[in-house]
Amino acid sequence: MGGLDSVRTRDSTGTLTGRVTFGYDGWGRRVRKSTATGTRRYLWDGDALLAELDTLGNGVAGYTYSPGTDNVASVLRHDRGDSTYYCIQDYSRNVLALLALTSGGVTIDNQYRYEPFGNTQGSTTSTIPNTLQFAGREHDAETQLYYDRARYIDPAVGRFVSEDPIGLDGGINLYAFVGNDPVNGWDPSGTSCKDFSFSQEKVSDKLAHYEFGEVLVKLSWYYNWPRWRATEFAALLGLIHEGPWGNIGSPFRPLHGWLGDHDLWGWKHGAKGAPCAGFVDTFFFMLAPLIYDISAGYDPGFGTVQTPSYPGWDPRHVGIPFTFPNILPPTIPQGLRPGGWGGWGPTL
């Protein structure tokens, strides 16, 4: 979904002037590009483009990477006498230049300047072919689009050419590229902005953070804590989760990437939304306890143990925790009261 099948170009009279077709493997990676002049095939190692082959299967180019997605280190051009060129990139993974080692020292063969959404501006290039350019992604000269794995970017309009495969989890604008902030953004998957703009983070992540806060509310009811204690623990949990430990993008397991989102202190680790994204995430951890704390319909004095104002409500009821247990009128049926999924709508 989102991958182009083919692109046709026509002149002002409607005459077909060009056609390019694409092929993909079972993981959605582009493995073939065919034009009138031949077919280019691509070999992958996970999400990293490893090599390009020509129509006859001969090697054209090979790529090596530094740690990190699209962090291109060098290009081995078999069509240039097996010469190796070293890539210089900025923090958004844009390839700025190709360097070559010669008997006379280091030479700069290609230099690139980009407009915010990827159009080249004032670039100086030699005869060295190079497809990895803006954001470290492949530029198709035939279509003037960038292949960004799940989708294609049109730098002329600053948008993806198809909807986001993950839907609204990638943001409310299904065609936006890194939240319309490409100077500070990076989207290696074509599905969502990475580590910069909290407006592009998954809605499901925010809901998960909120539910952790709901759990603390339930614990506060169960153990008769002061109301502010749930807020205090939620803030602490948020700080732990957004901390600088672990590795960004690592598997979901404690004390690795899961308990180290880097969004508060992680700018140097590659979390480019820090600290703003971390503050927002921590707020969602605290949202339910804050509502419970200051707007539960009781005496607003902090530090006092409160009791429900409606009869029949058992704060130790086992189930999903919810805020506002006391403000539901007694006429609401038991099945819709807090402690079950049915109470979620009325309480929020």
Q: Which residues make Cβ contacts (< 8 Å) with residue 86, sequence separation at least 6? A: 73, 74, 98, 99, 100, 101
What's the rounded Cα separation, in Å, for the pair 201 and 178? 10
pLDDT, tens digit, 9 for 90 and up, residues 163-210? 988 887 777 888 988 878 888 777 888 886 654 444 445 666 778 888
pLDDT, tens digit, 9 for 90 and up, residues 230-276? 888 888 888 777 766 555 454 544 444 445 555 555 444 444 454 56
The 8-class DSSP code of residue 176 comes to B
Q: Lowest-pLDDT range, 80-94, 172-186, 245-259, 329-343?
A: 329-343
Same domain, 176 and 249: no
pLDDT of residue 298: 41
pLDDT of residue 315: 45
Number of domains observed in the structure of the chain: 2
pLDDT, tens digit, 9 for 90 and up, residues 278-289? 777 788 888 888
pLDDT of residue 203: 67
Same domain, 61 and 195: yes
Same domain, 116 and 241: no
Same domain, 119 and 220: no
Backbone φ, ψ for residue 289 (5° rounding): -60, -35
Same domain, 187 and 231: no
Q: Report, as an integer, the average pLDDT of 295-300.
A: 43
As a dihedral over the C-alpha atoms of residue 274, residue 276, residue 277, residue 282, rounded to 10 degrees, the angle is 110
Q: Report, as an integer, the average pLDDT of 36-62.
A: 95
| Single residue among 178, 199, 220 that ends a domain in this structure | 199
Same domain, 65 and 207: no
What's the rounded Cα separation, in Å, for the pair 201 and 338? 29
pLDDT of residue 192: 66
How, if at all, do strands 83-89 and 72-77 pair?
antiparallel
Structural domain contains residue 149: yes
Structural domain contains residue 210: yes
Structural domain contains residue 1: no
Same domain, 27 and 161: yes
Average pLDDT taken over every residue of the chain: 76
Same domain, 192 and 321: no
Structural domain contains residue 282: yes
Whether pLDDT at 18 is above 60: yes
User: Measuring CA to CA, which residue among 5, 30, 10 is closest to residue 20?
Assistant: 5
Same domain, 211 and 336: yes
Whether pLDDT at 292 is above 80: no
Q: Lowest-pLDDT range, 13-22, 68-77, 125-134, 240-249?
A: 240-249
Q: Does an H or E element contain 203, and which?
A: helix 203-222
Tokens of 309: 């104002």
In this structure, how many other beta carbons lie within 10 angstroms of the beta carbon of residue 75? 23
Whether pLDDT at 59 is above 60: yes
Q: Report, as an integer, the average pLDDT of 104-113.
A: 90
pLDDT of residue 1: 58
pLDDT cut 90: percent of the chain above it:
37
pLDDT cut 70: percent of the chain above it:
70
User: Measuring CA to CA, which residue among 3, 151, 140, 134 is closest to residue 72?
Assistant: 134
The 8-class DSSP code of residue 343 comes to G
What's the rounded Cα separation, in Å, for the pair 266 and 262? 4
The 8-class DSSP code of residue 120 comes to B
Residue whose pair of structure tokens reads 């006498």 in the numeric block: 81
**Greater pLDDT, 271 or 105:** 105
- Contact call for residues 106 and 95 (beta carbons, < 8 A): no
Residue whose pair of structure tokens reads 């508060």 in the numeric block: 264
| Single residue among 199, 224, 239 that ends a domain in this structure | 199
pLDDT of residue 329: 46
Same domain, 114 and 58: yes
Whether pLDDT at 299 is above 50: no
Residue whose pair of structure tokens reads 């003037």 in the numeric block: 144
Q: Does an H or E element contain 53, and which?
A: strand 48-53
Which sign does the torsion angle of CA 122, 64, 107, 90 carry?
positive
What's the rounded Cα separation, in Å, for the pair 224 and 303? 11
Residues spanned by the domain of 256: 203-347
What's the rounded Cα separation, in Å, for the pair 331 and 215? 26
In this structure, how many other beta carbons lie within 10 angstroms of the beta carbon of residue 189? 16
Q: Which of 132-146, 215-229, 239-253, 308-322 is modeled with the greatest confidence?
A: 132-146
| Single residue among 161, 177, 199 that ends a domain in this structure | 199
Same domain, 328 and 341: yes
Same domain, 195 and 213: no
In this structure, how many other beta carbons lie within 10 angstroms of the beta carbon of residue 244? 18
Whether pLDDT at 309 is above 70: no
- Contact call for residues 2 and 190 (beta carbons, < 8 A): yes
pLDDT of residue 221: 76
